[in-house]
Amino acid sequence: MSTPLSIGTVDDIEEGEAKVIPGDENGTGNDIAIFHAEDGNFYALDDTCTHEDASLADGWIEGTEVECPVHSAKFCLKAGTALCMPATIAARTHKVEVNGEELLLHPNVDAIA
């Protein structure tokens, strides 16, 4: 079990928005995007689209999905599943915990265990 990383408060990310925790800060070497989904919950995926080199944090959140800004593949924020072409590979999920007002990221811990 990894040590959770404090990444700010729930007020730091508006609903429908995302923020990136750089790879050198989160310890995985890969940028991780934290999404505040339209169901009110927070989810984390590797920020780089599994199709090509695009930031999912720059995409569009709809419900509990994010659409890649480059070729419009969609990913499930809960499970990372690629929901439509051109992406066929799931995005890696990371567990996000809300502790009061604080957001905690568990890098490399799957959101759905």
Q: Which position among 21, 32, 33, 68 is part of the footprint of ligand FES (CB under 6 A)?
A: 68
Residue 68, both tokens: 């890649």
Nearer to ligand FES, 2 or 55 (CB): 55
Residue 102, both tokens: 């604080």
Phi-psi region of 39 (alpha: psi -120 to 50; beta: other; left: phi over 0): alpha
CA 10 – CA 36 distance, rounded (Å): 9
CA 87 – CA 113 distance, rounded (Å): 23
The one-letter code for the residue type at 86 is P
- Restricted to residues 6-65, the positions that interact with ligand FES (CB under 6 A) are 49, 51-52, 54
Residue 49, both tokens: 């689209």
Q: Is 74 in the site for ligand FES (CB under 6 A)?
A: no
Nearer to ligand FES, 7 or 61 (CB): 61
Q: Is 77 in the site for ligand FES (CB under 6 A)?
A: no
Q: Minimal distance in Å, beta carbon 72 to ligand FES?
A: 6
Q: Is 73 in the site for ligand FES (CB under 6 A)?
A: yes
| Chain contacts with ligand FES (rule: CB under 6 A) | 49, 51-52, 54, 68, 70-71, 73, 86-87
